[in-house]
Structure 1
């Protein structure tokens, strides 16, 4: 069994929430793990097709997965080609968010995980080929799929619509996927991964939390146990503020890409800074 649709990103745009909501639909079977990353050579591609098929189990009309790393073409090469070779008729869903807000969220995530040690201003000193910025160049990322997939195989969803107009947005997605778009669950009202105060991993906490034993066990440990441990060993992280100069620099750098996304998608993207 192979997926009929794939959520290709973007990172920090609500892919975890959408994965959860789609799991609730009785006709949709989502992958056993959320971020399968199969089409990424450096990650799970070498595990083989049988391993990928094993991620899709059950009696469902269609299957899907969600791997935000699929829209990091500057970092992981060849994803659209591998995807097309295996599932050429798959439908693609791309969640997007205000590019600058996504960059701040991405930076905060990396900083809290202990992978980023610079200030946000230092991290954005150079914008060309900057990982944070490239992940927010949504049209540029999509262009890598145009060579293989047709436009009618792609659906672009602004994350604010999934947050503020959830029922209508999910109906749009269900219709795009060809399943019952009248389905509704009270669990759709739950906002997944609502932003809480981030906590930064230090060397000790990284050593503890990323050890093979803890990685294996943490999926079975309830939050009531994990949360006090996190508070004890991880200091709080405050969301950083961009300087006016850096914000303007980002607006100017990303403006053309956002304009191309608007033209391609027909979306107004109201509320974005650019």
Structure 2
């Protein structure tokens, strides 16, 4: 087995590998409360990319982001975009051969919709309607109809980004199945105690009591889309000019356009059925992968699986 790319006891040995909008922020918050897990600060370091325009970080800074709990068994980072890019997963596996992995998943139709909402919040998406953005996926894949605010068109190809069955299958080309636990997001709401106990068993650590299981990163909506687009343009301009510090302008823009929490419904039933039909094969693939090793999923309203 190859050795780690980082000094002993410094590099990551636990990744929340993906997927975005599947409860990864909540999972990171829960793990951070365990004395044996040091979650990177920030949670999403983007050290391994994977998208163009991702903020850079030195190896030393990367290790320091997980150094706030000396002696902790696990040093964890949680950049959920990694899972969607096989080359990124392969590099992570090669540089961290002893690592374990948590993969959070959900219904692919809901995931694609939530990803569209997220990139709109980030100012990368200029098509407000998910249905229209979904229909534009082939154009985006070809690099067409990509707004200037988006540095990497792959962020907008929602069918590819939400194909978690294929993504986990690809990851198994470089990661042993027993080192990955796949967890359906719905299990966090249904029976968090069982999820927590199973996850701790998978990691080989004691079950920490008194953890605050409040959900994190709830769905939000945009008040001023144009203002957020301006913020994204400013961010790209700063990076091109090599400006790392803040100018205060972006902060002021975001304070005006700050997203607000919403309980708004997700997909319309007709569109949901269409998108779910598109992902039918990927859903079957995901089920096969889940049943082949450590996992937690909903079966007849009950959390089922093992670590």
One fold, TM greater than 0.5? yes
- State the partner residue of 2:147: none
In the TM superposition, what are the counterparts of 1:142-153 in structure 2 within 5 Å? 142-153=168-179
Q: Using the alignment, how far apart are the partners of 2:261 and 2:226 within structure 1?
A: 11
Structure 2 stretches lacking a partner, 5+ long: 1-9, 142-155, 239-244, 302-307
Match of 2:194, SS state, is helix
Q: Report the CA distance shift for 1:45/1:39 in structure 2 as closer, same or farther (over 3 A).
A: farther
In the alignment, which of 163, 171, 176 is matched to residue 189 of structure 2? 163
Q: Report the CA distance shift for 1:271/1:86 in structure 2 as closer, same or farther (over 3 A).
A: same
TM-fit CA distance, 1:205: 7.3
RMSD: 3.4
TM-fit CA distance, 1:214: 6.2
- State the partner residue of 1:94: 103
Q: Using the alignment, how far apart are the partners of 2:111 and 2:18 within structure 1?
A: 12
1:62 partnered with 2:71: no
Q: Using the alignment, how far apart are the partners of 1:187 and 1:268 within structure 2?
A: 22
TM-fit CA distance, 1:98: 1.4
In the alignment, which of 71, 78, 83 is matched to residue 92 of structure 2? 83
Contact 1:199 1:237 in 2 (8 A): no
- State the partner residue of 1:122: 132
Match of 2:225, SS state, is coil
- State the partner residue of 1:187: 212
Contact 2:218 2:261 in 1 (8 A): no
Greater Cα offset, 238-247 or 15-24: 238-247
Match of 1:213, SS state, is coil
Q: Using the alignment, how far apart are the partners of 2:124 and 2:137 within structure 1?
A: 19
Contact 1:137 1:257 in 2 (8 A): yes
Q: Using the alignment, how far apart are the partners of 2:76 and 2:191 within structure 1?
A: 22
- State the partner residue of 2:61: 51
TM-fit CA distance, 1:88: 1.0
Q: How many residues were matched structurally?
A: 258
Match of 2:283, SS state, is helix
1:38 partnered with 2:47: yes
1:178 partnered with 2:190: no
Contact 1:37 1:45 in 2 (8 A): yes
Q: Report the CA distance shift for 1:185/1:199 in structure 2 as closer, same or farther (over 3 A).
A: farther
Tell me the TM-score normalised to structure 1 length.
Answer: 0.80
Structure 1 stretches lacking a partner, 5+ long: none
Q: Report the CA distance shift for 1:235/1:169 in structure 2 as closer, same or farther (over 3 A).
A: closer
- State the partner residue of 1:213: 246
TM-fit CA distance, 1:109: 2.0
1:257 partnered with 2:290: no
